[in-house]
Amino acid sequence: MFLKKIRINSRTYLIIFSLILLITIVLCSTIGAAKITFFEALYIIIRKLPVLNYIIPVKNISATHNIIVLNLRLPRIILAALIGFGLATMGCAFQAIFKNPMADPYVLGVSSGSALGAAIAIVIGIGYNFLGFGIITFSAFIGGILTTIMVYNIARVGNRIPTTTLLLAGISANFLLSSIITLLMVLNRQQADKIIFWTMGSVSSASWTQILSVFPFVGIGFIIMMIYSRDLNIILTGDAMAKSLGIEVDKVKKLLLIISSLVVGAIVAFSGIIGFVGLISPHVARMLVGPDHKKLIPFSAIGGAIFMVLADTLSRTIVAPAEIPIGAITSLIGAPYFIFLLMKTKKKVF
């Protein structure tokens, strides 16, 4: 009874979530073969922050520990958090646009397109870098963009893009491109392991350069979704109602879907396919703060970041020194949750 009387406002929740994310980042940077304490990791990280590095007194910290935290663990933790942040943000947008809590950022086939682009580069054997970026990564991004263009053109009816047609086109594209990837693996068995590991997701090759490359996509995408949060709220009431209130529904949907596809394409290009993050985090956040996207989007984003950091830590430690693809971890958690949502909502559908 006492717990029921406690009401925590959304701002308090946001502060709590942000603190949990920061603590999780520091805590996960201590986990690994080298034993580093929480306060050592915290000190190493703080000493690299502007202004604070002048306030915190100098301590004798092992140079090896500095390298492990700053060059090995922290880049992949930050990249994982950034990926979770972006996927959860786009998940909110997709669930509002499709008016379906089971919609996912990969529904338009962007992930399969990126995976096919990477698979083709792997099979051809292009492994050199261009302007600091791997050609496989570049091919994955281009594959995602081309798939988005293809799906939009298939679904387009004049100047309109009906939601149902777009969804069906995305599902069809996913199946088609996944089949081509499977065919490539069968015909190139020597490269199959690389393709499988890439398509199941990983941030093991994370670097600060990759973080700087992904950040603009995720950051700008998040800002745009926040700007259109009111429009997303109104769209949830129905297209007819939204149009009567002055919302250009088709234009808003088209813009947000294009932005989402660009963000997801960039994420998949650097991490491979990581599913269910954009499904789970928005749904959990919705149960905490309700359907208002002005609150829902930042909560989902932070929740997605926490989820991805924990999933990545599990992927690199469960069978250390080997590593489990992070996509397998998120699927093990997300698939049962998806089934739960399906069981919960099927009576409403039928």
| Burial tier of 158 (Cβ tally within 10 Å: 0-12, 13-18, 19+) | exposed
Residue 198 lies in a domain: yes
Residue 165 lies in a domain: yes
Residue 345 lies in a domain: yes
Q: Which residue has the higher pLDDT, 118 or 26?
A: 26
Contact 161, 100 (CB under 8 A): no
Residue 12 lies in a domain: no
> Minimal CA–CA distance to 325: which of 271, 264, 269?
271
pLDDT, tens digit (0-9, with 9 covering 90-100), for 224-256: 999 999 999 999 888 888 888 888 888 898 899
Q: Does residue 320 come out as left (phi exceeding 0), alpha (psi in the -120 to 50 range) or beta?
A: beta
Q: What percent of the chain has pLDDT over 70?
A: 92
Q: Whole-angstrom Cα distance, residue 187 to residue 99?
A: 40
Helix axes 249-271, 135-155, angle to 10 degrees: 150
CATH number at residue 153: 1.10.3470.10
pLDDT, tens digit (0-9, with 9 covering 90-100), for 107-153: 788 888 888 988 898 888 765 555 445 788 888 888 888 888 888 88
Predicted local distance difference test score (pLDDT) of residue 347: 56
Per-residue CA distances from 60 to 27, 29, 33, 68, 96 (Å): 20, 19, 21, 15, 51
Mean pLDDT of 150-159: 82
pTM comes to 0.88
Predicted local distance difference test score (pLDDT) of residue 6: 45
Residue 48 lies in a domain: no
pLDDT, tens digit (0-9, with 9 covering 90-100), for 185-202: 998 888 888 888 778 888
Per-residue CA distances from 221 to 77, 88, 169, 186, 225 (Å): 20, 11, 23, 37, 6
Q: What's the total number of domains in the chain?
A: 1
Contact 87, 145 (CB under 8 A): no
Mean pLDDT of 278-305: 91
Q: Which helix (DSSP H) or strand (DSSP E) does residue 130 occupy? A: strand 129-130
Residue 140 lies in a domain: yes
Residue 6 lies in a domain: no
| Amino acid, res. 212 | L
Residue 224 lies in a domain: yes
Residue 350 reports pLDDT greater than 50: no
- Length of the chain in terms of residues written: 350
> 111 lies in which domain range?
62-349
Choose the weakest-confidence range: 209-213, 286-290, 313-317.
Answer: 286-290
